[in-house]
Amino acid sequence: MSFVACSLRLSVVRQQASLVASALSRQHGASISTNAHGWSVERSSCVGAVQARLSSSLASSSVQPTPEAPSPSTAWQTIRSAISDMKDGAVQLYRDVGQMRKLTSQSRKLNWAETQFVDITRTNLKSLVPFAILTLLPGSFVIIPLAVSLHPTIVPTVFQPRKMKLEQRVANALRREHTAEDVLQQLKAACWNQVAFETQPDSVHDALKLFYGLRLNRDLSDHSKLPTLEQVTSTAYLEEYAELRDEFQRAAHCGRLTTSQCKTVAEFDGVRTYPLFSLRSRLNARAEAIHNDDILLAEYGVQNITRVQLIAACEARGIPTLDVSEADLRQMLNAWLQLSAAETKPRQPLYHACYAALLTVIALHG
């Protein structure tokens, strides 16, 4: 298999793993923890709780909500404030473009932070013309939020207020919550169709342990003999059991995914699903970009990035950022990077459940 294809599947796995991690939170409460790496992530038990995070996160971030219906007496002040924000954003973009040209004119290799700056500035320039057109349309205050929900990069980052960025993070969490249930049901259906259980497994962990017991011809009646998730996603374990190792490597290929599965991955990851004929190519390109970014970020060091950069890096990788401390985010991102180069196991310890979940569906139905 090609390196790019393998990189794609591993990225697919990373994104799908958060789906199952989210679904697991419904089964076990609001907390999901990974003992092997000593950090935990607090998750809500339902989509409604995620929606409630917006108001609490706004308060904790000292972001004041915009008044729902400004009175006519304040309309002029609102317009003046918007014009001032536009002016400040334009000045900042002008400065960023100048700095970008200086960086790209240098012969040396750019570090991770510089590469991120150049990429963001280029994206902002591409979005400038369509954003300017939107602002000139009547009812732009209604059109722009709708456009952002369909195409988040349509508003250059220099024109995005903090509230808009936070709302986008909440929207990402909601989208992942909605797609989690589908993946969980696929996993359970795959296991139920393979073995006649006396009682249906009520958790993803139980279903996965039974599945791996099947693959290794273990005694399914004795759960103590079944491998743990930590074992089946470790390099040593996969090297010992060649059958599992080969399954993981075969599954790490986009061609093994159905169109429906690719759409689920794209929806979770925020990648547009149309047109369908080029969906795999878009997922492939994103996976390669994340893989290359992993290499640069590992060289730069997670400890050297700012909180804003940290949140952006985690969001790009599908790592949950709402209601998670900065210290835990850094630990999660470090754990991701430590496993990023591994070719025979998932790249994120918290998300190994979704890797195995999708592998289960592929192995039994693919």
Model pLDDT for residues 170-181, shown as the tens digit of each residue: 888 788 767 766
pLDDT class of 326 with cuts at 50, 70, 90: very high
Rounded to whole angstroms, what are the CA distances from 118 to 110, 122, 254, 304, 344? 9, 6, 29, 18, 33
Question: Could you report the per-residue pLDDT of 293-305, keeping only the tens digit for each?
Answer: 989 999 999 999 9
pTM of this prediction? 0.63
**pLDDT for residue 100:** 96
Q: Is residue 72 reached through a cis peptide bond, with omega within 30 degrees of 0 on the bond before it? A: no
In terms of phi and psi (left: phi > 0; alpha: psi -120 to 50; beta: otherwise), the region of 93 is alpha
pLDDT class of 353 with cuts at 50, 70, 90: very low
Inform me whether the pLDDT recorded for 311 exceeds 50: yes
Inform me whether the pLDDT recorded for 200 exceeds 80: no
pLDDT class of 126 with cuts at 50, 70, 90: very high
Gap between the Cα atoms of 280 and 264, Å rounded: 12
Retrieve residue 196's tokens.
């006649």
Inform me whether the pLDDT recorded for 189 exceeds 60: yes
Judged by DSSP in three states, 300 sits in helix
Retrieve residue 103's tokens.
């960086």
**pLDDT for residue 318:** 75
* pLDDT above 70 coverage of the chain, percent: 49
Highest-pLDDT range among 12-21, 208-217, 272-281: 272-281
* 42: phi then psi, degrees, rounded to nearest 5: -85, 125
Gap between the Cα atoms of 175 and 319, Å rounded: 13
* Domain ranges across the chain: 1-61+177-366, 74-169
Residue whose tokens read 């960086």: 103
Q: Check residue 159 and report its DSSP letter.
A: G
